[in-house]
Amino acid sequence: MIRRRLVVRGLVQGVGYRWSLSREARRLGVHGWVRNRSDGAVEAVLEGADEAVDALVAWCRSGPGGAGVSGVEVTTEEPEGLTGFTIEP
């Protein structure tokens, strides 16, 4: 199991990014959460099997249609054993 924290920058708010990320996370069996930040970025914590989390991180680099991702900062953290996937405000 691996845990990654992402900060996704660019045109990522108001384009369905959080909803699309949540749907993709559930499809891949990745747990965690996603939220908008006040600086216009989207932040997410992803936990799960290495391959699934890596696939979701790769997806985040382009996001859904309509998004314009300019960069993704990825840090590795200690897994907490999260279950489910939530969209935070």
Q: Which sequence positions are flagged as catalytic?
A: 18, 36
Judged by DSSP in three states, 26 sits in helix
Residue 31: phi, psi to the nearest 5? Answer: -105, 160
